[in-house]
Structure 1
């Protein structure tokens, strides 16, 4: 059966564009390519991704394992036919082990499926051996002896080996290695790692999107046979009430790790079985895989089995075929490694990938304020004063070195020469040289911080010191209730894990010089305070390990235009023939969408919202009158997008003034006006009130929502049907070109351009703007029967250079209107035909 006629197991009869999507996806996976897929919201993108990829996985499983090199290398002068026979034999053995592994797991899960998880599950308690040695309060946060950091020797921490003993370095290293093998690990390699099966890793931005994806999987024919598991943070999956109540994700991580230390006074965690208790971990795995489950379902399984869902899901991932996880877990190298995620020869699907490059840049960009740096110095200085006499090996040397680096950062942000107190951008090597720390081996510092867990020890030390200080303050209050309490110590007044942030900054300094910049800022009137930032410029380098390891990568989104940025800035070294770009149209008929560019307002004033003209009061009035007139012909809800919160506030204030002629009052005669709040916790309330107004019995009175491009309303919000009969884009949301960071990114884009004749910096600048526009205007059409008008208020939208950066399903049907009267006529006719 050819791919043309092969059924994909869609839960209902797919549209033609869905069939095309799945066929192209299947081919991309089969050929090991990189695919960029654009499918407008409402076209069943998630189901197409699921059915196309899981169909490929099912077919892939039927094939014999690909031939591999023989375990035993061929002998000298061994005939090729013997080598080929060995390879084939190995492939046969691997296939047999795979089939046996599948059969055993299927039998276990089938048994679980016969049980009802809702009944009470009895779990036998397991005894744990505890260390007989009890640690004192002070020693709890003492780091172990740093044995060695030789270039070619082992680097270990050990509190078992005495460096003052008569044992040689080699013997001590062997003892340390032996001790490390005794430690419990929850990330050990699977015994059958050589027969690992191909997996699909699906990542998206938010937990709600991941949950929605899992629910879509459960609707398909693949739900029964595809073993799926969701990964998430401890904050989302912890079931230990004492840990969960801490709230802060970093504190939860630290507390969890503390409970796992041998001799911990608060541990061990009763929900965490020993790593060698395979029966307990397999019990969780079998129940987790018995159904397609989201994060909340896994938490419920963990609670019923009294087994940690966080570590349980990580263990389950070894047997799962579909692993669902957030962006950061996949994109951040150290997080990926800590979760034991191997992308080797596996499939990676990244949904909502339109902001992928910005997300990668954000993950690897590290900012530090002067206050944070000073706090880190104070805390670490207190620590070394407390433990200096008890720190062995090279601990003191490294801690003093870190203190010196922190002091250099403080001096950099507090220059004695006032003339040097100005914002700057430097290369990493230039910064290291100017700060006189270029002689320090940052890789060794990184290794020391990793091995010693100094950040975690310091955090525990600070928290303990805060508790003691508060106890003393309360004792003084009891002794003398009328006396004022002494102020808290400045170095202990925050819960921010400052050394962890310093560590991230130092790690960034090990990146290639060309990939990032050091940005120093001494603040503004609105945002005072000095700060230093490592800004990543090259997302391709951070993404390269995923590209090199994965068999195939799929980037999908409702709007992926402008696609050129992915080719130029994410896959610059990938041959063009390995990248497949698929963009499908919308499922709505063309008559259900009216897209218009408006070049001038009712009085004939040109609509050009460049940076210079944004303060023009007459332009604010012109756009106000334009919108007020459109309110007369667009029914129900209208969503207006402004370039920024600042401009939205300026325009709203002008419309509210008497000088404008009462523009806002005129609009509110037809539409009740709502504004996007700056505070995230108020967004849901605003949306609910907006929706209630549109659904009110008074159909003559609709609603208007004033939003901001790249704000909370521009992504992930569903303005279907009456909630978004009209979408109005006011101007082009270009970023502030005076920003030193933006200028540096534009400069970097130009330097990396393969074609010197193209202004790659300007192209990057425009693409950044148009991604925001495309996300915003895509909020309106959400399903097959939906209809809406999109009005682009700026003359520049009519230019070919900007027009070609719109999504194809929108850009191919744009009507350019020079005169305002034409827009009114076309819009009125469009909605008259829909009644």
Structure 2
């Protein structure tokens, strides 16, 4: 790969903002900084991230990096010159060894590439022959009837008749044509002529020695589809041909064992996968090679790295090689240069360790990072119901009763301690449930207070944590329960032998959840809170993480550089205050760029009053006022008269949207819906996730069929506020009804704000950290929602913000920078209609 020193390998001529983005990213990585990058959707953010980071990675390969010396001499009596000579000699030896291992791997990958290319050529050749035969058949169709067509000979090529039974047998599983097998034989002869006899033992040498752990980039995003899109972008770059990329995913996405896949649940798939690996298992998973056949995993590695492959491509490779892609991808992490993975795989320490992910001195890039703080909090917040605790207590009792005579060491002691904790939690929750029936309030306590209430101060939680991790009690318990249920079914059932439920009858292992909760109790007292309350399912206890910085700190300290990127990262202050308070300011670099669209293609209007002059303030106390709801309906009805195609309108919550919709449907509400539907068909975001795709499809079809358009009512932080592309005609306008502030009555939110006030470090002492956090929580949601409209260079849209508070400087400065440049304050609704009409008239 020959890329000029000043060229980032961008697939087309980059825009100036893309050039600036890549240069800034390169510098952040080169200087080992923490970077926060904001680049609006549609500006080529993914390509800029790829090309800027891969250029830096590629340049590191040009520089000779000193290899750490292992087993250095400890003889202090030796002279300095001899020590230096020894160290230098070992460095050179280790570097030579690394170079040889790299060369061996590259040779294997080259062979895999050639095999893949031959398969593609074979497939293309077969397709051309079939097309030719079909055309010949069509030409003679008038002369031959269907019965006669059956006897037409297939094309015959005497060169295809290869009489080599050994070759045919060895390659029978490849399903390749004879000419391709011949070509492969020729290539193997060439390889044999250029390599020593020892090269025939590739597998044994690779098995004996570990792969070189390459300097690499870990790229994380929220969803499987976002990672797939990123990989497709990687295929466009100048680095694609030689890039060693591997995508990590869950067993649910990578498992190719049909019996395991059809279990559906992630937890059941994981448990069954582990079950099929146990010693003595009657039916071991056929796709996971035993140690004697681990060369199959290495073959998978070679093919996985031979070209840039998506998760679906890796599944295909696994099926061809009859090898598990889940474990195959794990085998491929070390030699990879770019590793893509979901948030959870990166942000959860136990998951990182189980996958063998080492961030030490590597690069971490987190895309769609606007919700990173909330994601970290959610991953480390654990809720357990009283029913789960009762189930766990019963299960542990059964397990102990069955195996107490067989358990060795301190197993019984620790199991009894865990049972004591579980029973104590049940007792405390029963008391809380009774109290909550009277007060209906959540109880908040510190971790130490909760442990004291349970009466388990005398137990060493760190030792219990270590026992749970090492003994894998939850897995053993779940397997025991599965076995009991299967035996019970065998005794009572004679029919439905093929029932899938018999494969594995457990759902989410209850003890896993309790184990995670107990481990959370070992965190620093100030970093979390315990919430006790009741809901429709009964009493529950929750560990709520308050300090995401500590959970993220290890990533920042291990990695050479950490980059957070997103389309809208404002308000950026939250990242500095709540995620990087321990990072030196000089190490943090911020980059924000405008959009590639012409400035005149975006119009942002803040609206303080409605058609009747009524002030628009959608706070919690006034937003349900019927007059305000009617005024909002009139605003939308008027806007729908002048805005073409699709209009997307966001409300603060599902209940509020449903209240508004119901009011607009009545005569008392002025039959607003009837007025709107004279111009645009009205759709509502459904609560059910499985209905979202149908709603979006119907909305898009109605716009595409040449009608005057449609209005889609959505919810902030709902299923359509992130990841949905309302480009072009699907979103000519986004209307935001009010500011979606979270409910301050929430005990957990109050506790979070209290924590921020006590612990947040802010530059300006006059800033109320709690209020700042509360406002930022709201504006992050607003920014994600309004960013749904403008998606590419030639797109255009208007964004209309309904609430007089959008005119305040505090709120306005929290909008994305590229939005702020286009904001116009409208003193009355007449200005809104005039500006909107002119905006779309100029773009006809």
Tell me the TM-score normalised to structure 1 length.
0.86
Displacement after TM superposition at 1:102 (Å): 2.5
Structure 1 range deviating more: 4-13 or 814-823: 4-13
Displacement after TM superposition at 1:494 (Å): 6.5
2:617 aligns with one of 595, 601, 608: 608
| Cα offsets for 1:163-195 (capped at 9, x unmatched) | xxxxxxxxxxxxxxxxxxxxxxxxx999457x5
CA distance in 2, matches of 1:85, 1:788: 69
2:585 aligns with one of 576, 583, 588: 576
Equivalent position of 1:827 in the other structure: 836
Partner secondary structure for residue 214 of structure 2: coil
Partner secondary structure for residue 493 of structure 2: helix
Against the structure 1 CA distance between its residues 88 and 568, is the aligned structure 2 distance closer, same or farther, given a 3 Å change threshold?
farther
2:484 aligns with one of 450, 454, 465: 465
Correspondences of 1:159-174 after superposition (within 5 Å) = none
CA RMSD of aligned residues (A): 2.6
Pairing 1:660–2:693 present: no
Equivalent position of 1:538 in the other structure: 547
2:67·2:94 contact (CA, 8 Å) conserved in 1? Answer: no
Partner secondary structure for residue 609 of structure 1: coil
Equivalent position of 2:602 in the other structure: 593
2:424·2:454 contact (CA, 8 Å) conserved in 1? Answer: yes
| Cα offsets for 1:332-386 (capped at 9, x unmatched) | 1000000000000001111111101111111111101111111111111122222
Displacement after TM superposition at 1:92 (Å): 3.8
| Cα offsets for 1:530-581 (capped at 9, x unmatched) | 1110011111100111111101111111110000000000100000110110
Pairing 1:291–2:307 present: yes
Correspondences of 1:441-456 after superposition (within 5 Å) = 441-456=460-475
Pairing 1:750–2:757 present: yes
Against the structure 1 CA distance between its residues 420 and 642, is the aligned structure 2 distance closer, same or farther, given a 3 Å change threshold?
closer
CA distance in 1, matches of 2:669, 2:459: 62
1:70·1:83 contact (CA, 8 Å) conserved in 2? Answer: no
Correspondences of 1:249-648 after superposition (within 5 Å) = 249-267=266-284, 269-275=285-291, 277-415=293-431, 418-419=434-435, 422-474=441-493, 495-523=507-535, 527-648=536-657
Against the structure 1 CA distance between its residues 474 and 648, is the aligned structure 2 distance closer, same or farther, given a 3 Å change threshold?
same
Structure 1 range deviating more: 215-224 or 114-123: 114-123
Q: State the aligned residue count.
A: 753
Equivalent position of 1:46 in the other structure: 46
1:708·1:714 contact (CA, 8 Å) conserved in 2? Answer: yes
CA distance in 2, matches of 1:635, 1:477: 57
Correspondences of 1:176-255 after superposition (within 5 Å) = 191-192=209-210, 195-255=212-272
1:123·1:305 contact (CA, 8 Å) conserved in 2? Answer: no
Against the structure 1 CA distance between its residues 643 and 314, is the aligned structure 2 distance closer, same or farther, given a 3 Å change threshold?
same
Displacement after TM superposition at 1:391 (Å): 2.2
Equivalent position of 1:33 in the other structure: 33
2:815 aligns with one of 802, 806, 811: 806
Equivalent position of 1:711 in the other structure: 718
1:600·1:795 contact (CA, 8 Å) conserved in 2? Answer: yes
Equivalent position of 2:152 in the other structure: none
CA distance in 2, matches of 1:236, 1:466: 28
1:594·1:790 contact (CA, 8 Å) conserved in 2? Answer: yes
2:243·2:307 contact (CA, 8 Å) conserved in 1? Answer: no
Equivalent position of 2:105 in the other structure: 105
Partner secondary structure for residue 774 of structure 1: helix
Partner secondary structure for residue 674 of structure 2: helix
CA distance in 1, matches of 2:329, 2:315: 10
2:244·2:338 contact (CA, 8 Å) conserved in 1? Answer: yes
CA distance in 1, matches of 2:433, 2:263: 44
Partner secondary structure for residue 21 of structure 1: helix
Against the structure 1 CA distance between its residues 6 and 82, is the aligned structure 2 distance closer, same or farther, given a 3 Å change threshold?
farther
| Cα offsets for 1:494-539 (capped at 9, x unmatched) | 633111111111111111111111111122xxx3521110011111
1:64·1:91 contact (CA, 8 Å) conserved in 2? Answer: no
Partner secondary structure for residue 545 of structure 1: helix
CA distance in 2, matches of 1:112, 1:296: 18
Structure 1 unaligned residues grouped into runs of 5+: 127-187, 479-491
1:68·1:87 contact (CA, 8 Å) conserved in 2? Answer: no
Which structure has more helix as a fraction of its residues? 2
Structure 1 range deviating more: 406-415 or 455-464: 455-464
CA distance in 1, matches of 2:78, 2:577: 47
1:70·1:87 contact (CA, 8 Å) conserved in 2? Answer: no
2:432·2:533 contact (CA, 8 Å) conserved in 1? Answer: no
CA distance in 2, matches of 1:607, 1:649: 19
Displacement after TM superposition at 1:445 (Å): 1.3
2:725·2:788 contact (CA, 8 Å) conserved in 1? Answer: yes
Against the structure 1 CA distance between its residues 339 and 477, is the aligned structure 2 distance closer, same or farther, given a 3 Å change threshold?
closer
2:578·2:760 contact (CA, 8 Å) conserved in 1? Answer: no
Pairing 1:681–2:690 present: yes
CA distance in 1, matches of 2:457, 2:171: 57
CA distance in 2, matches of 1:238, 1:448: 30
1:67·1:88 contact (CA, 8 Å) conserved in 2? Answer: no
